[in-house]
Amino acid sequence: LAFQKELRESRRNIRALNNYYNSLNTKLITLKSNTRNTPGVPVDSLNEISSWQKEMAQLGIKINGDKSLAKRAFETFPSLNQFLGTVAWSSYNYTGAPTAGQKKKLATANKMYKGIHEQVKSIGTKTQELQSKLEALGAPYLEDSLPE
């Protein structure tokens, strides 16, 4: 029962990470467009956003796997979602104690989650700070912004 609770909490956290990651990617695209189209915004802002987008692309591979290599029949390292999905799938309708393999994969997924979470959170914080600066310079407000 403790393993199932840990698995459920891990799935909850990783699902939230996936959602945040996807919305942050969308926000970066919009922010980049706003940066290009707002007069007086420092050009360095575009470089920052581009570097964050590159980081996000690398994190996307860790979260979802390298689909580009996989579709060319190259072996790829399992992604965070693959580790978790394997554990969740193999534990459905299984009434016995969790196997050593299930425990190991869940531990690996949780370890991966912690590292990815910190990186995504850091990019999210930096993005929010840049968004505030751009809005102060007259850039359009984003969906999740409300003028003062």
Let me know how long the chain is.
148
Nearest by Cα to 123 from 60, 77, 38:
60
3-state secondary structure of 65: coil
Mean pLDDT over residues 104-133, rounded? 94
**The residue to which tokens 């994969």 are assigned:** 105
Residue 85 — very low, low, confident or very high, per pLDDT cuts 50/70/90? confident
* 30-73: pLDDT as tens digits: 999 999 999 989 889 999 999 999 999 999 988 887 767 666 66
Whether pLDDT at 115 is above 90 = yes
- Classify 138 in phi/psi space as left (phi over 0), alpha (psi -120 to 50) or beta: left
